[in-house]
Amino acid sequence: MSAPSQQTRLGLEVLTVSAALGIGADALLRATPWGLNALLCTVGVVAAAGWIVRRRQIAVSGDAPWLALTALLLGSNFVARDSNWLRACDALGIAIVGALAWSSLRGTSLRGRHPWDYVQGGVATAVSTCVGIWPLAVRDVRWSELSSGGAWRRARGAVVGVALALPLIFVFGGLFASADPVFHNVVGSIADVDFGVIASHVVLIGLGATLAAGYFWGAVIRRGPLPVLPGGQDLSLGIVPTGTALGLLDLLFLVFVVIQLRYFFGGAELIERTIGLTYAEYARRGFFELVTASALVLPILVGGDWALRHEPREHQRTFRFLAGLLLVLLAVVMVSALRRVWLYVAEFGLSEIRLYATAFMVYLAGVFAWFGWTVLRERRHRFAFGALVQGFAVLAGLHLLNPDALIVRTNLARTAANRPFDAAYAASLGADAVPDLLAGFAGLGDQEKCRAAAALLTRWTPEGSGGKRPVGDGWRNWNLARARARRAVQEHAAVLKATPCPKAGP
């Protein structure tokens, strides 16, 4: 019998690698919060992709090496920092890099692509990852090409026999154990089986293997061009509906900006006299609404540019004028939003949501500037890739800032005239906040010292957690920040335990 075809061998290798990744994900990712295990899983996926590409001499784009490096850097962040928000951002970043790598493994360059191409590639990646295992196992691997004799035949027979026997053994074993207490005790002494745990392992392994196989199927096996939506290349709106909508939006922004100039530069007295709010309440009330409004402008401008891509040049110039005016007005709105949040921080202190919303606004400011520099200068093919790079640059900047530590330092530096330092909130942050909280512990009030000491001892020491292992104590989810926090709390344990707690008033 002839040897299996190259496609069948590649499909079998993908299935084998995917099964190994599923087993690794089950063994590693059960320990939470994630730390070293997330990095190891990322390394495993990158190594698997590199092994398949190198073994089968698959042509990939030149972006593949730096995408692999980016994925590893994002995975390493799970070891370096301990922040729920950063973990969520890093997980999202890894998902985005995975979608970009999927296209890169298909030989598609990332530079010079339009935003719609990125969206289409992301959707195709998600669909392939979820359902790709079925065409891989049923169609692309031709099982009839495999040898029907020798070692393969015996191995295949053994696997089929085990698959047939396991459900029968469970059924009859359960019946016999229920019928005879002696048999039940004997079986229990031989194998103490928790079928719920077994089922959870089977499900997680199967899920991980399925997703990995589907991802690699679309990336290295089914390498045809991405499907294009019917009529998508011909659909185009005229300048009248697009320009009218954009002009009305400009008018709305202009009215808002005029009002902002009056109230925001008129001072606190004008605000309190006119609308009955304090300056801090005024700042708090509008910040997140302005963040949302700013974020919604980007898809509107990108969609408007796409809708007029086939229109005459004079129509496109009209759009660029209206879009440029909107960007100028939006700049004032964004400055107003940033000023609001820092007024609110001065009054109530810094928090995660305020810090990350500010970082998002900084990212939007860069993206809008890049939009004006590229799209409005007829260089739209450069926009999407530059916006993507800016997103990863902002994420890298957040890691360098160390958000949880920055929050604690900022709040400790504030005067307590308006609101005292919130020790309970500071202690609830990630491990990165612990060293700075301990450094400023001596300057806290008695009540805040009591709250901080109780929270730190409870969270980071075995004694405070009732003899249980402290958070993050395990090799799979080991994290540098959590290790430092546990060590720092242990070093200050005597001082924390001796902290008196003032009695509540009558």
Q: What percent of the chain has pLDDT over 70?
A: 78
Confidence of residue 505 (pLDDT cuts 50, 70, 90): very low
Whether the Cβ atoms of residue 93 and residue 395 lie closer than 8 Å to each other: yes
- Residue 442 has what DSSP assignment? G
- Residue 296 has what DSSP assignment? H
Which of 193-202, 344-353, 420-429 is modeled with the greatest confidence? 420-429
Q: Do 299 and 250 share a domain, yes or no?
A: yes
pLDDT value at residue 231: 43
Question: Quick one: tokens of 4?
Answer: 């299996």
Question: Quick one: tokens of 58?
Answer: 């698959």
Q: Do 140 and 155 share a domain, yes or no?
A: no
* Residue-wise DSSP of 375-414: GGGT-GGGHHHHHHHHHHHHHHHHHHH-HHHHHHHHHHHS
Q: What angle do CA 368, 373, 375 make, to 5 degrees?
A: 80
pLDDT value at residue 283: 58
| Cα 419 to Cα 432: distance, rounded to the nearest angstrom | 23
Confidence of residue 5 (pLDDT cuts 50, 70, 90): confident
pLDDT value at residue 289: 77
- Token pair 């001082």 is found at 495
Q: Is residue 162 part of a domain?
A: yes
Confidence of residue 506 (pLDDT cuts 50, 70, 90): very low
Choose the final residue of a domain: 144, 176, 209.
Answer: 144
Q: What share of the chain is helix, strand, coil (3-state, %, to 5)?
A: 75, 0, 25
Residue 229 has pLDDT above 50, yes or no: no
Q: Is residue 205 part of a domain?
A: no
Ranges assigned E (strand) in 50-166: none
- Residue 474 has what DSSP assignment? S
Q: Do 56 and 181 share a domain, yes or no?
A: no
Using DSSP's 3-state secondary structure scheme, residue 423 falls into helix
Output the CA–CA distances (angstroms, integers) from residue 443 to 224, 325, 457, in the order listed: 65, 50, 19
Q: Do 415 and 330 share a domain, yes or no?
A: no
Q: Do 45 and 120 share a domain, yes or no?
A: yes
Using DSSP's 3-state secondary structure scheme, residue 33 falls into coil
Number of domains in the chain: 4
Q: Do 386 and 423 share a domain, yes or no?
A: no
Q: Do 379 and 352 share a domain, yes or no?
A: yes
Q: Do 340 and 375 share a domain, yes or no?
A: yes
Which of 41-50, 283-292, 348-357, 463-472 is modeled with the greatest confidence? 41-50
Stretch among 207-211, 322-326, 418-422 having the lowest mean pLDDT: 418-422
Q: Is residue 210 part of a domain?
A: no
Q: Do 258 and 179 share a domain, yes or no?
A: no
| Cα 299 to Cα 384: distance, rounded to the nearest angstrom | 12
Using one digit for the tens of pLDDT, what is the confidence trace for 117-128? 898 899 999 999
Sign of CA dihedral 226, 232, 234, 237: negative
Q: Do 152 and 140 share a domain, yes or no?
A: no
Q: What angle do CA 36, 397, 380 make, to 5 degrees?
A: 115
pLDDT value at residue 16: 92
pLDDT value at residue 193: 58
Question: Quick one: tokens of 149?
Answer: 């004799």
Cβ within 8 Å of residue 5, ≥6 positions away: 142, 145
> What is the domain extent for residue 18?
6-144
Residue 472 has pLDDT above 60, yes or no: no
pLDDT value at residue 504: 53
Choose the final residue of a domain: 351, 370, 400.
Answer: 400
Cβ within 8 Å of residue 322, ≥6 positions away: 243, 246, 247, 250
Neighbouring C-beta atoms of residue 92, cutoff 10 Å: 13
Q: Is residue 474 part of a domain?
A: yes
Of 14, 18, 15, 42, residue with least CA distance to 28? 42
Whether the Cβ atoms of residue 331 and residue 372 lie closer than 8 Å to each other: no
**Mean pLDDT, rounded, of the chain:** 83
Q: Do 254 and 373 share a domain, yes or no?
A: yes
| Burial 297-308, CB ≥16 within 10 A → b, else e | bbeebbebbbbb
Q: Do 348 and 462 share a domain, yes or no?
A: no
Of residues 45 and 413, the one with the higher pLDDT is: 45
What is the arithmetic mean of pLDDT over 269-287? 58
Stretch among 94-103, 137-146, 292-301, 364-373 having the lowest mean pLDDT: 137-146
Q: Is residue 234 part of a domain?
A: no
Confidence of residue 407 (pLDDT cuts 50, 70, 90): very high
Q: Is residue 138 part of a domain?
A: yes
Choose the final residue of a domain: 348, 365, 400.
Answer: 400
Q: Is residue 417 part of a domain?
A: yes
Using one digit for the tens of pLDDT, what is the confidence trace for 157-195? 666 666 666 666 666 666 666 665 656 666 666 656 565
What is the arithmetic mean of pLDDT over 451-467? 81
Confidence of residue 77 (pLDDT cuts 50, 70, 90): very high
pLDDT value at residue 273: 55
Q: Is residue 209 part of a domain?
A: no
Of residues 9 and 367, the one with the higher pLDDT is: 367
Neighbouring C-beta atoms of residue 241, cutoff 10 Å: 10
Residue 333 has pLDDT above 50, yes or no: yes
- Token pair 């009839």 is found at 144
Residue 28 has pLDDT above 70, yes or no: yes
pLDDT value at residue 355: 93
